[in-house]
Amino acid sequence: MNRALYAAATGMAAAQTNLDVISDNLANADVAGFKGATATFAEIGGAGGPGLGTVSLGEHIVFTQGKLMKSGGPFDVAIDGPGFFSLDDGRGGRAYSRDGSFSRCADGTLRNAQGWRLSGVRLSADALSASVSGDGSVSVTSPGGTRVVAHLRLAEFPAPERLRAIGNTLFAQTPQSGPARLVAPNEENGPRVRFGQLEQSNVSIVEAMMQILTAQRAYEANAKGVQAADEMLRIADNLSRG
Amino acid sequence: MVAARTRLEIATANLANVSTDGFRKHVARGRLTASGVEVDPLVATAQGALRRTGRDFDFAIAGDGWFRVRDGSSIRPTRDGAFVRDRDGRLRDDAGRALQGRHGDLIVPAGASVDERGAVVVAGRVVDSIALPSASALRTGFLETANTDAVTEMVDVMAAQRSFESAEKVVATIDAASRKAAGDVAALK
């Protein structure tokens, strides 16, 4: 019965872990550029007999494409395909993100909500408006006319799924992910950039809700298993008292 | 009562794994022996439901067969097909075990795709493959969920508990009867 008790307890812990990951996904379902995570589990095998429960193997980020949506921002860009925006903080720090909502600063740089600059792009002081074409060339319209001032480059990695999430939809390079390689967006064979659009999170609210219900049921059922094992221990105990 | 205990152990172990992708549940099979009922756990090989994830390296096997993963130097079979691609092209699960191809670790070069037969294709050329029985198919972007669910296993947990309780009643009755018999014999003396 102890075996059953512990197996059911591992099930409760797994359901809890699963619920944590799903609720984090759900909480960020409206955050542009957010990538959901998924928790994985493995069976703890018993030698020859029934297993001893389950163990969490951790979680990994799911880098599937989010939907692109037209947005109202003056400098919103979205990536259609693989790759990341390469960002720097001006002090040597570097991060990568799929969130393309930038705003223009006084010094001509484009910064995201956390103040990270879009690397390699600087608008001239007299620019009235700016736009990005499919091949990544950034052009500004000033009283003197329209001209290309910079080329947007996207960062690609040998193993993007090994990037480390550092919060605020930012990712950091790791030895496992390999070094970033800057590529020019390409209209023909991707990745493409879409100006005036934002990539939504890749979390489906309906699916996340469904997963929450399933995790909750799993938790309840495992709690029932703990109860049953406990009850049987009590009965066995009474029996031995006679 | 021992049989009911084994049933409970099987049901709780299954229950704990309802969220484990690729999990194969055990079923309790009872058999009558001279000393009562014995319950053996058997692995149920029924196909689990496929869940769409959209990831490039989530695989599900529709039909028989196993993924082979290397854990250190030993090769283990698994039905869990959630892998993450390393920078050297190896596919590893979240426990760090590498998926095996025809000749050792499967290497998926950049830009390669994995087709329905498990073959890794680069520019129309097959470079390696995941060995699968000929009748099975590989579904990319899907994971196979556990072949059991919380409700079924909860019912089993309750059934095991009830049968344990009934067995306990029987033991208590036999115990009471033998105590009475012992008392009667003592009174006769």
Q: Kindly state whether residues A105 and A147 are assigned to the same domain.
A: yes
B3: which residues sit within 8 A by CB, 6+ positions away? Answer: B30, B36, B37, B38, B39, B163
Give yes or no for a contact between A11 and A3, defined as CB atoms under 8 angstroms apart.
Answer: no
Q: Kindly state whether residues A18 and A133 are assigned to the same domain.
A: no
Q: Does B145 touch chain A (CB under 8 A)?
A: no
Q: Kindly state whether residues B123 and B159 are assigned to the same domain.
A: no
Closest approach of chain B CAs to the CA of A4, in angstroms? 4
Q: CA angle A220-A225-A227, nearest 5°?
A: 95
Q: Kindly state whether residues A127 and A76 are assigned to the same domain.
A: yes
Give yes or no for a contact between B82 and B54, defined as CB atoms under 8 angstroms apart.
Answer: no
Q: In this complex, do B13 and A221 lie within 8 Å of one another by their Cβ atoms?
A: no
CA distances from A20 to A60, A165, A215, A228, B94 (A): 13, 16, 10, 26, 18
Q: Kindly state whether residues B34 and B84 are assigned to the same domain.
A: no
Query: Across residues B131-152, what is the average pLDDT?
Result: 93
Q: Kindly state whether residues B116 and B153 are assigned to the same domain.
A: no
Closest approach of chain A CAs to the CA of B86, in angstroms? 5
Q: Kindly state whether residues A206 and A195 are assigned to the same domain.
A: no
Q: And the tokens for A4? A: 């059953």
Q: Residue B174's domain spans which residues?
A: 2-46+147-188
pLDDT band for position A209 (cuts 50, 70, 90): very high
pLDDT per residue over A81-136, tens digit each? Answer: 999 999 999 888 999 999 999 998 888 889 999 999 999 888 888 888 888 888 88
CA distances from B176 to A64, B43, B129, B173, B181 (A): 67, 40, 67, 5, 9
Q: Kindly state whether residues B159 and B90 are assigned to the same domain.
A: no
Q: Kindly state whether residues B73 and B138 are assigned to the same domain.
A: yes
Q: Kindly state whether residues A95 and A43 are assigned to the same domain.
A: no
Q: Does A3 touch chain B (CB under 8 A)?
A: yes
* pLDDT of residue A242 exceeding 60: no
pLDDT at B57: 94
- Number of domains present in the structure of chain A: 2
Q: Kindly state whether residues A152 and A181 are assigned to the same domain.
A: yes
Angle between helical axes of B150-188 and A205-241 (0-180°, round to 10): 10
* pLDDT of residue A204 exceeding 90: yes
Q: Kindly state whether residues A72 and A190 are assigned to the same domain.
A: yes
Q: Which residues of A touch B93 (CB under 8 A)?
A: 40, 57
pLDDT per residue over A17-70, tens digit each? Answer: 999 999 999 999 999 999 999 999 999 987 767 789 999 998 999 999 999 999
- Pick B7 or A144 by higher pLDDT: B7
Q: Kindly state whether residues A85 and A182 are assigned to the same domain.
A: yes
pLDDT at B88: 92
DSSP code for B47: P
CA-nearest residue of chain A to B109?
Answer: A158
Range with top average pLDDT, A84-88, A146-150, B30-34, B184-188: A84-88
Q: Which parts of A51-143 are beta strand (E)?
A: 53-61, 68-70, 75-80, 84-88, 94-97, 101-104, 109-111, 117-122, 129-132, 137-142
Spell B112-131 as b/e; 16+ CB within 10 A means b.
bebeeebbbbeeeeebbbbe
Q: Kindly state whether residues B139 and B155 are assigned to the same domain.
A: no
Q: Kindly state whether residues A84 and A165 are assigned to the same domain.
A: yes
Closest approach of chain B CAs to the CA of A125, in angstroms? 41
Q: Residue A90's domain spans which residues?
A: 68-199
pLDDT at A48: 66
Q: Which of B129, B144, B159 is the last residue of a domain?
A: B144
Q: Calculate what percentage of chain A has a pLDDT beyond 90.
A: 65
- Number of domains present in the structure of chain B: 2
- Distance separating alpha carbons of residues A109 and A91, to the nearest angstrom: 14
Among A32-36, A177-181, B32-36, whose mean pLDDT is lowest?
B32-36
Q: Tell me the whole-structure pTM to 2 decimals.
A: 0.86
- Distance separating alpha carbons of residues A69 and A202, to the nearest angstrom: 12
Range with top average pLDDT, A46-50, A188-192, B182-186: B182-186
Q: Provide the CA B181 distance to its chain's centre, in angstroms.
A: 49
Complex ipTM value? 0.85
Q: Kindly state whether residues A82 and A58 are assigned to the same domain.
A: no
Q: Kindly state whether residues A22 and A89 are assigned to the same domain.
A: no
pLDDT band for position B40 (cuts 50, 70, 90): confident
pLDDT per residue over B90-139, tens digit each? Answer: 999 989 999 999 989 999 998 899 999 999 999 889 999 999 999 999 99
Q: Kindly state whether residues B39 and B61 are assigned to the same domain.
A: no
- Distance separating alpha carbons of residues B68 and B72, to the nearest angstrom: 13
Q: And the tokens for A47? A: 């030698």
Give yes or no for a contact between B75 and B67, defined as CB atoms under 8 angstroms apart.
Answer: no
Q: Kindly state whether residues A46 and A96 are assigned to the same domain.
A: no
Average per-residue pLDDT in chain B? 91
